[in-house]
A and B are shown apart, each in its own frame.
Chain A
Amino acid sequence: MSEMIVVFAVWVAHGALALAMIFAMARMMRGPRAQDRVLGLDTLYVNSMLQLLVFGIRTGSTFYFEAALIIGVLGFVATAALAKFLMRGEVIE
């Protein structure tokens, strides 16, 4: 019984997060401007990080947690650097 509930919830979460990734990817491809694409990339990062956490629950292993943490950190650094680039034209002045 409890296995069925968790399996169902994991399926729903996988589907919802996959759809969210598709929306973020669509906005990233459509633009219309560079800041939309950067924000789309950031949303895609966060959604894939959550997807990895759900994978961790599904397989019952804690290894996915480390991958999710690294994706979170890299996503923040990448978006901050890209925002700086959009504002100033270079990242390190």
Chain B
Amino acid sequence: MSMPHAANLPLWAAILVAAFLVIGAGLTLIGSFGFWRLRSFYDRVHAPTLGTSWGTGGIVFASMIYFTVLELRPVVHEILIGIFVTVTMPVTLMLLARAAIYRDRAEQNPDVPVMEPARARLEEASTGSETGSRLQNGI
């Protein structure tokens, strides 16, 4: 494999691009390995965020630096991918985790905490018991 267009890249840019590429790809690999390795779904849901935060960030920065230096003009459209992935990934994972806990509660899986109905908590609070007032104060 050869990249003749990379030959006229200055050394500092090459080092920077290489460092960002290796950091980004390595973090993505660590995230995916954790996703494969961790035990429960609620542990696993955290692992791929490594790839979507600095994994994507590193590779996007590498691409931006590479094309900016190579084409002698600012090339920043890759930042769109970075912004988009950073914004959408929390939404995705929140939706998925809520769906998972909903399914676990629906089959009364003992591994997840049961949901206290809000009405029961309110009634307990209105009777003025100690736990009720504690809940009312939001502690």
Q: Do A and B bind each other?
A: yes
Q: Which residues of A contact B (CB under 8 A)?
A: 1-3, 5-14, 16-17, 19-21, 23-24, 26-27, 33-36, 38-40, 42-43, 46-47, 49-50, 53-54, 56-58, 60, 62, 65, 68-69, 72-73, 76, 79-80, 83-84, 86-87
Q: Which 5 A-B pairs have the closest CB atoms?
A: A9-B18, A2-B14, A20-B32, A13-B25, A83-B95
Chain B neighbourhood of A6, CB < 8 A: 3, 6, 9, 14, 17-18, 66
Chain A neighbourhood of B22, CB < 8 A: 9, 12-13, 16
With A9-B22, A80-B95 in contact, is A60–B3 under 8 Å at CB? yes
With A6-B18, A20-B31, A46-B85 in contact, is A57–B44 under 8 Å at CB? no
Q: In the complex the two chains form, is B32's CB within 8 Å of A24's CB?
A: yes
Least CB distance, A79 to chain B, in whole angstroms: 5
Chain A neighbourhood of B95, CB < 8 A: 79-80, 83-84, 87
Chain B neighbourhood of A68, CB < 8 A: 81
Which of B7, B32, B84 lies at the interface centre, i.e. has the most chain A CB atoms within 10 A of its CB?
A: B32
With A24-B36, A39-B96, A57-B62 in contact, is A65–B77 under 8 Å at CB? yes
Q: In the complex the two chains form, is B44's CB within 8 Å of A87's CB?
A: no
Closest to A34 in B: B103
Closest to A44 in B: B32
Chain B neighbourhood of A11, CB < 8 A: 1
Q: In the complex the two chains form, is A57's CB within 8 Å of B17's CB?
A: yes
Chain A binding surface SS class:
helix
Q: Which of B4, B26, B67, B103 contacts A16 (CB 8 A)?
A: B26
Chain A neighbourhood of B14, CB < 8 A: 1-3, 5-6
- 22 examples of A-B residue contacts, CB within 8 angstroms: A1-B11, A1-B14, A3-B6, A5-B11, A6-B18, A9-B19, A13-B21, A20-B29, A20-B51, A35-B100, A35-B103, A36-B41, A39-B44, A39-B93, A47-B51, A50-B24, A53-B63, A54-B59, A56-B63, A57-B21, A80-B91, A83-B95
Which of B13, B36, B70, B102 lies at the interface centre, i.e. has the most chain A CB atoms within 10 A of its CB?
A: B36
Chain B neighbourhood of A73, CB < 8 A: 84
Cα–Cα, bound, A60→B69 (Å): 12
